Amino acid sequence: MSGEQSLHKTNRINMLFDFYAPLLTGKQRLFLGYHFHDDFSLGEIAAEFNISRQAVYEHIRRAEQMLEQYEEKLQLLAKHEERKRCAGEIERLLEQNPPDRSRLKELVRRMWSID
């Protein structure tokens, strides 16, 4: 995996973790936090908990799968990103003189309908 892909994956997991962490087990939250938030290697986590690197890898892999499954069903991250896009466009429109009121109304309606 390239550096850019790895960074994208880390950012995605961190965002999913922010939304869905309470739905994970304690161990999944702990290992994901160490690995993705604190940038611990699998070996460092394994040493900290006196388990194998493979066991850490499996916990993290399953947790990542769970996060993706939650997102597939609930779409909280996708909805959040869509709201951010709408908000950014609203900000740009408000900088225009005069702003496109019909587009502003459309975007506000869009934001309210994202569910």
| pLDDT tens-place values along the chain, 115 residues long | 777 888 898 999 999 999 999 999 999 999 999 999 899 999 999 999 999 999 999 999 999 999 999 999 999 999 999 999 999 999 999 998 898 999 999 998 998 898 8
**Helix residue ranges per DSSP H, 25-75:** 26-32, 42-49, 53-74
Task: Look up residue 115 and give its two tokens.
Answer: 């569910």
Non-local (6+) Cβ contacts of 107 within 8 A are 86, 89, 90, 93
pLDDT at 46: 97
In this structure, CATH architecture of domain 3-74: Orthogonal Bundle (1.10)
pLDDT at 85: 94
Instruction: Compute, in degrees rounded to 10, the torsion defined by CA atoms 93, 95, 99, 101.
Output: 50
Q: How far is CA 12 from CA 8, 82, 90, 105, in A?
A: 6, 15, 25, 31
Q: For 21, which DSSP code?
A: G
pLDDT at 2: 75
pLDDT at 58: 96
Which helix (H) or strand (E) segment holds residue 10: the answer is helix 3-20
Q: How far is CA 52 from CA 10, 39, 57, 64, 71, in A?
A: 22, 18, 9, 19, 29
